[in-house]
Structure 1
Amino acid sequence: MKTRHWTQSSLHRYIYRGMLSVVLVLLSLSGAKAQIIRDAVSWTRTVEDNGPTEKTIVFTATIKDGWHLYATDLPAGGPTPTQLIVDKLGGAELVGTLTANTKPVEKFDPNFDMKLRFFSGKVVFRQKIRITDAKKFAFEGAIRHMACNDEKCLPPSNWEFTVQVKELGKLSEVAPATSTETPAPQEATPTVGEPSADSATSAPDTLSVDQGMAKDAVSDLWAPVIPELKAYGDKALTQADGSLWMLLVGGFLGGLVALVTPCVWPMIPMTVSFFLKRSKDRKKGIRDAILYGISIIVIYVALGLAVSAAFGASALNDLATNAYFNIAFFLLLVFFAISFFGAFELVLPASWTNKMDEKADSASGIVSIFFMAFTLSLVSFSCTGPIIGTLLVQAATSSSGILAPAIGMLGFALALALPFTLFAIFPNLLQSMPKSGGWLNSVKVVLAFIELALALKFLSVADLAYGWRILDREVFLALWIVIFTLLGLYLIGKIRFPHDTPQEKTPIPMLFLAIASFAFALYMVPGLVGAPLRAISAFSPPLSTQDLNLYKGEVHAQFSDYETGMAYAKQVGKPVIIDFSGYGCVNCRKMEASVWTDANVKATLDNDYVLITLMVDEKTALPETIEVEEAGKKVKLRTIGDKWSYLQRMKFGANAQPFYVLLDNEGKPLASSYAYNEDVPAYMDFLKSGLAEYSARKK
């Protein structure tokens, strides 16, 4: 048996490669998000034979993990419910309505800011029919449905079906004298892209459009331009999910905060000195310290994996919209904040830490080091517990999948383990460490204020779910203004808590933090009268909950019809920006509130472009059903939303919203497309690139 002798450099290389592999494997498991998602809901159909004249059409929906399918009865102003569309029904009549086999879950849906009913996993819908004349039987139609996850919604879509008479089983030999027949709608298939009947009312009265010009141009306007977009290096069409990287960074920052708490900071020099002194061999001391850091990482990553295993992927996705969970976590954060303020101390049972100490003393080698790391985790819980709890919940309620808690804990543990390894390798750095003192308690108090502010976000979700209206936007902002004003007063020494040391002079770092806190509080004041407050739009309740709104800086589309808007742009010689949006698209509202309200963006959209907003979930019926072929299947476009959703998929190769694309007057792209990103300078660069390309083509 060969014994491997580790050198310091080989050990470092091995650990580096191992940790890099863990990070890359975990991140790669998240996969890439293709913009066109076709398998969120898959359908199958069978026929149940209930008798010679009574039949049941059974529709089975299999819903992809993390997504949900809306129920058949929903309140007005919400998403499209699951419904049966009948194109042709002869020799039979419907009995009752489309009915699910299970009761839908009723929860607050952040995509629509209302309580809605939906299904997850698998659900079966049944529609009974009565045969009135077997010889004339014909049944064609579709199941119209809409699917969402916690991040976005897909446009309403139709699953087409045709029931053949041979599927009905045993039929009555004598047909009734009377028959019921629902005539099929006219199956004329006008050219896709022909201006719809509502075109004349789509544009404001001040905009005059030559309808003849619109009809002449439609064939080229619908031509696919996916290769052209990819030639621009379009990232929106096949973008990787970067949210796991953000969780890793967020966890790392949380770990850095945990380092400077009173429970962890004093342990660094003590633990490193112990490792260096327990062995006369400095290399062995460094090795032990590195193994100690790795043990910390293993413990916290295991905690993240345990959370994922305990809840499962579906449950993790449901947490973000669960009102009871949000109320519970609001109370938990308030509890943590009170503890950080100094009202009481959070400690785990002493028997737990004593048991770990005994294990560390009785064990040897790597096992001993692992139990020492476990002891650190337990002893520091009073300070790290609130940070870990917040991080785990944020990871669990993100849309990044089942690995999110583990990724968050990996970042946290890396930051926590890093100083033990660095100070062991470079022990001279220990002398330059700031000494423990009252500043460590100040860190806890600052965290307490931040915990209170975050707690209000979770209470806001529950408030919206139940419609209490106790935490409307102006109330939320008023509380945040008070919290960050008090934080600023604390930082300059005007407010003291039980465990704080007397402060005669304000330290320079505290002064700058206080300035930032006061400035943030002042920044939120205009929000009380309706200012969009782009920096916190993801935290505050929607602007629709605000009673007083004096802000008039919104951008409004000039057209809601593609062909009419394109024809007008050609007349006036301007480029076009197509805004694929939806009534239930929360990220669309965020872009409108945080990006379009910027003065430069608004001026560019109003003056230099023709803005066409196309709602992919518009329920208004088309004058005539349009039948097209997509992915080898015939698809019927019945509503205006169907038409715009098909345009986005067919011409631009995407079906997620918001989706922005810049076009010239022939329908060709001027730049790569733009998806959800609240970076105003990036959006301005996007608009400017289109204007520059349009000018170059005109020359």
Structure 2
Amino acid sequence: MKKLFFLVITLLAFASIDAQILDPAKWTTAIEKKSDNTYVLTFNAVIEKDWHMYSQFTPEGGPLPLEVVFKNQKGNYTLIGKAKESKTKTAYNDIFEVNETFFEGKAQIQQEIKLTNTKISKIEAVLNYQVCKEVCINQEKKFTFIIPASTSEIVAPTVENPITEQVQADSLAPSLGEASVMQAETISAPAEVIPTEDTTTKKGLWTIFFIAFLSGFAALLTPCVFPLIPMTVSFFTKQSKTRAAGIRNAIFYGISIIVIYVVLGLIVTTIFGAGALNALSTNVWFNLIFFALLVLFAISFLGAFEIVLPNSWANKVDSQADRGGIVGILFMALALAIVSFSCTGPIVGTLLVEAASKGGIAPIVGMFGFSLALALPFMFFALFPGWLQSLPKSGGWLNTVKVFLGFIELALAFKFLSNADLVLQLHLLEREVFLAIWIAIFGTLALYLFGKITMPHDSPLTHLSVGRVMMGLVVLSFTIYMIPGLWGAPLKLISAFPPPMEYSESPHGVGGSALIPATDLPEGAKIGVHGLTIFEDYEKGLAYAKTVNKPILLDFTGYACVNCRKMENNVWSDAKIMSILKKDVVLISLYVDDKRALPKSEQFVSTSGSEIETIGDKWTDFMISRYKTNTQPLYVLTDLEGKSLNTAKPTISYVGISEYENWLKDGLSNFK
């Protein structure tokens, strides 16, 4: 009885440990014969609430995209196009600075194939994907499709085989009831994503709206638009038979402006497609073309030339505006858009470029915000004509606004050039070069605002206004703020614009005290984030720890792990944490998504049945087999025998500074 009792307790203990192995995506598969030798393979997933799984189309430099690998393809069948996906969501990731695409609730992947070997009886496939919540999990799932015999035959969906998974989690496998529900689904229809509130996407659209709204007001203060406000409002108030009619016509005029620009945004979205716009944002040619366009717009604003539409367009539209009535007012609004194009065109173009990089309906939202700001003054001044007397007179200050916008356009242009350089990894526009260009641009703008340099269309400057001096001081302060970035300062105010710290001539700063000369590095170590000395191989790190008699901090991480980067940026950067990481532990970072192949002699099959072929596979298997979990980030503080030093909480994951510090100190106090 004692032995039986001990066995039960042991099994319960292991069961509680295994429960840490998470498996948030449950898969079933189906195969349908479409025509002679042509089949559709379907992978259906149900994703647990609050988790999300990344799409095939998540761009490089971000989280790991889903990958479908067919093992027995050669000589047996060919793939027809790329695998199709069900509905996804898109949101900007400010850690990796990319627009990531992901599934929530459900996912469906469909791949059409054509047999070239009619004797083949099965299709073997593997799905590699990343699923995240507060932690991230890299999964590898193996599937086998049995080829049906008749054209009407549809093989029932099969539940994933837990024996062949990278992570064996029988306690988390779907029940028979869940499998039955999955079998009842129509496999040819896209999987419906459970509607959830995408706050990140909404924030992105609100950001686009407010930037566009402010840009619309900036456009109002240009020489092409500002003088038209009193002229147009006076036309409506004087030419209309009654004041009420004048107000009504002015309001319709404003609405017409909004409609024209929103239609422009709708056209851009329709031509390219909401998804294609997002894909274009990481395309090299897209970024290079828009870099050239923004430089062209900037040079135009600075006064080298004007970008205007053909005069014949304005004349034809203006002739239609004389027709009167609603149609005439609509053409008046169109005439405003054409006549003011030399000033509004570059702003609209920049907005469309920025909105296009966000994808979805962002171009429509951007054009609505821009046109609303442009239209409101015409409507309000029609309602309250007396306000016209308070408007400042037109003059040289309007060209100053235009030149100011030209400098801003020029600075933004280099963000697109930087994107292209990052994708190609040419290292031509590294962080220091980018910041040097921005310092030069905004430094020159400061000189312009202080009247030290002038542009071709500037009026003679007899004195500096208070507003101009204040703006000059803001720009000068911003310029000075950027200078330390040349020596490695993080520059958090503009972190989304320059290349990341690691894409730099000096990734760890110039002359920083944290930087260890390469000659002083232990064998097998490298300089990592924040200048920390890290090992990326467990055995080498363990050997060094024994020579210096320090405990080991195991950092199970990933190149594409968002929360790993957040921990490094927000927790490791704290002075107290940094002191511990530098002085008291040997840091070993093991990347579970390292796709480099292991030497053939080191490849093996794990106890869970997974083929360990890459470095990432090796560390994943190490993490699962020893610590019974599969999430990243994961931190373990061990002694020189590999035993956890934290008895109450052997491992820790995504936490705050104080909890992480207490956990480290608790473990260190147990080290002997």
Which residue in the other structure is 2:248 paired with? 287
* Alpha carbons of structure 1 residues 618 and 624: separation in structure 2 relative to 1, 3 Å: farther
TM-score normalised to structure 1 length = 0.61
Q: Secondary structure, in 3 states, of the residue corresponding to 1:318?
A: helix
Q: Which amino acid aligns with 1:161?
A: F
Q: Secondary structure, in 3 states, of the residue corresponding to 1:241?
A: helix
Aligned-residue offset at 1:242:
2.0
Which residue in the other structure is 2:608 paired with? 625
**Is 2:552 the counterpart of 1:584?**
no
1:62-98 CA-to-partner distances (Å, cap 9, x unmatched) read: 9999943599xx99x986754357xxxxxxx885699
1:68 to 56, 66, 74: 56
Which residue in the other structure is 1:456 paired with? 414
Cα distance in 1 for partners of 2:113, 2:533 equals 39
Q: Secondary structure, in 3 states, of the residue corresponding to 2:505?
A: coil
Q: Which amino acid aligns with 1:269?
A: P
Cα distance in 1 for partners of 2:28, 2:208 equals 31
* Alpha carbons of structure 1 residues 419 and 519: separation in structure 2 relative to 1, 3 Å: same
State the structure with bigger RCO (CA 8 A, min sep 6), 1 or 2. 1
Aligned-residue offset at 1:167:
4.6
Cα distance in 2 for partners of 1:625, 1:100 equals 30
Q: Secondary structure, in 3 states, of the residue corresponding to 1:483?
A: helix
**Is 2:301 the counterpart of 1:346?**
no
Q: Which amino acid aligns with 2:312?
A: S
CA contact (8 A) 1:156 1:642 kept: no
Q: Secondary structure, in 3 states, of the residue corresponding to 2:304?
A: coil
* Alpha carbons of structure 1 residues 353 and 579: separation in structure 2 relative to 1, 3 Å: farther
Which residue in the other structure is 1:537 paired with? 495
**Is 2:291 the counterpart of 1:330?**
yes
Aligned-residue offset at 1:415:
0.8
1:264-284 CA-to-partner distances (Å, cap 9, x unmatched) read: 111111111221112352222
**Is 2:204 the counterpart of 1:243?**
yes
Cα distance in 2 for partners of 1:278, 1:521 equals 50
Which residue in the other structure is 1:355 paired with? 316
* Alpha carbons of structure 1 residues 163 and 443: separation in structure 2 relative to 1, 3 Å: closer
**Is 2:371 the counterpart of 1:413?**
yes
Q: Which amino acid aligns with 2:328?
A: S
1:479 to 425, 437, 440: 437
Cα distance in 1 for partners of 2:423, 2:78 equals 26
Runs of at least 5 residues in structure 1 that lack an aligned partner in the other structure: 1-35, 86-92, 115-119, 170-183, 194-234, 561-576, 628-636, 675-685, 693-699
Cα distance in 2 for partners of 1:541, 1:320 equals 16
Aligned-residue offset at 1:349:
0.9
Pairing of 1:411-450 with structure 2 (within 5 A) = 411-450=369-408
Runs of at least 5 residues in structure 2 that lack an aligned partner in the other structure: 1-22, 46-51, 85-91, 99-107, 151-162, 173-195, 515-528, 537-552, 599-603, 611-615, 636-645, 663-672
Which residue in the other structure is 1:378 paired with? 338
Aligned-residue offset at 1:381:
0.7
Aligned-residue offset at 1:614:
9.2
Pairing of 1:2-81 with structure 2 (within 5 A) = 44-45=30-31, 59=41, 67-68=55-56
Q: Which amino acid aligns with 2:56?
A: H
Which residue in the other structure is 1:311 paired with? 272
CA contact (8 A) 1:84 1:98 kept: no
Cα distance in 1 for partners of 2:387, 2:659 equals 50
Which residue in the other structure is 1:393 paired with? 353
1:280-318 CA-to-partner distances (Å, cap 9, x unmatched) read: 522222222111111111111111111111111232122
Which residue in the other structure is 1:503 paired with? 461
Aligned-residue offset at 1:370:
1.4
2:237 to 276, 279, 292: 276
Paired residues, number: 525
* Alpha carbons of structure 1 residues 128 and 498: separation in structure 2 relative to 1, 3 Å: same
Cα distance in 2 for partners of 1:393, 1:294 equals 24
Q: Which amino acid aligns with 2:473?
A: I
Pairing of 1:95-114 with structure 2 (within 5 A) = 100-102=79-81
Cα distance in 1 for partners of 2:223, 2:379 equals 20
* Alpha carbons of structure 1 residues 547 and 689: separation in structure 2 relative to 1, 3 Å: closer
CA contact (8 A) 2:31 2:42 kept: yes
Cα distance in 1 for partners of 2:350, 2:344 equals 10
CA contact (8 A) 2:53 2:129 kept: no
CA contact (8 A) 2:54 2:66 kept: no
Cα distance in 1 for partners of 2:573, 2:77 equals 44
1:161 to 124, 143, 148: 143
CA contact (8 A) 2:415 2:497 kept: yes
* Alpha carbons of structure 1 residues 432 and 644: separation in structure 2 relative to 1, 3 Å: farther
1:455-495 CA-to-partner distances (Å, cap 9, x unmatched) read: 11111122223333221111111111111111111110111
Which residue in the other structure is 2:222 paired with? 261
Aligned-residue offset at 1:413:
1.0
1:162-188 CA-to-partner distances (Å, cap 9, x unmatched) read: 455x8579xxxxxxxxxxxxxx97999
**Is 2:43 the counterpart of 1:83?**
no
CA contact (8 A) 2:141 2:164 kept: no
* Alpha carbons of structure 1 residues 471 and 379: separation in structure 2 relative to 1, 3 Å: same
Cα distance in 1 for partners of 2:477, 2:556 equals 36
Cα distance in 2 for partners of 1:186, 1:405 equals 43
CA contact (8 A) 2:42 2:109 kept: no
CA contact (8 A) 2:58 2:64 kept: no
Aligned-residue offset at 1:522:
1.8
RMSD of Structure 2 on Structure 1 (CA): 5.7
Cα distance in 2 for partners of 1:587, 1:190 equals 24
Aligned-residue offset at 1:505:
2.1
Deviates more, 1:337-346 or 1:550-559: 550-559
* Alpha carbons of structure 1 residues 515 and 294: separation in structure 2 relative to 1, 3 Å: same
Q: Secondary structure, in 3 states, of the residue corresponding to 1:468?
A: coil
CA contact (8 A) 2:435 2:486 kept: yes
Cα distance in 2 for partners of 1:425, 1:580 equals 64
CA contact (8 A) 2:135 2:633 kept: no
Q: Secondary structure, in 3 states, of the residue corresponding to 1:146?
A: strand
Which residue in the other structure is 1:526 paired with? 484
Q: Which amino acid aligns with 1:378?
A: I
Cα distance in 1 for partners of 2:235, 2:54 equals 47
Cα distance in 1 for partners of 2:463, 2:234 equals 34
Cα distance in 2 for partners of 1:640, 1:129 equals 38
* Alpha carbons of structure 1 residues 346 and 338: separation in structure 2 relative to 1, 3 Å: same
1:400-451 CA-to-partner distances (Å, cap 9, x unmatched) read: x2x1111111111111111111212222221111111111101111111111
Q: Secondary structure, in 3 states, of the residue corresponding to 1:371?
A: helix
Cα distance in 2 for partners of 1:168, 1:58 equals 14
Identity of aligned residues (%): 44
Which residue in the other structure is 2:520 paired with? none
Q: Which amino acid aligns with 1:423?
A: F
Which residue in the other structure is 2:530 paired with? 554
* Alpha carbons of structure 1 residues 143 and 238: separation in structure 2 relative to 1, 3 Å: farther
1:30-86 CA-to-partner distances (Å, cap 9, x unmatched) read: xxxxxx9969x9965468999xxxx99975679999943599xx99x986754357x
* Alpha carbons of structure 1 residues 531 and 140: separation in structure 2 relative to 1, 3 Å: same
Q: Secondary structure, in 3 states, of the residue corresponding to 2:259?
A: helix
Q: Which amino acid aligns with 1:83?
A: V
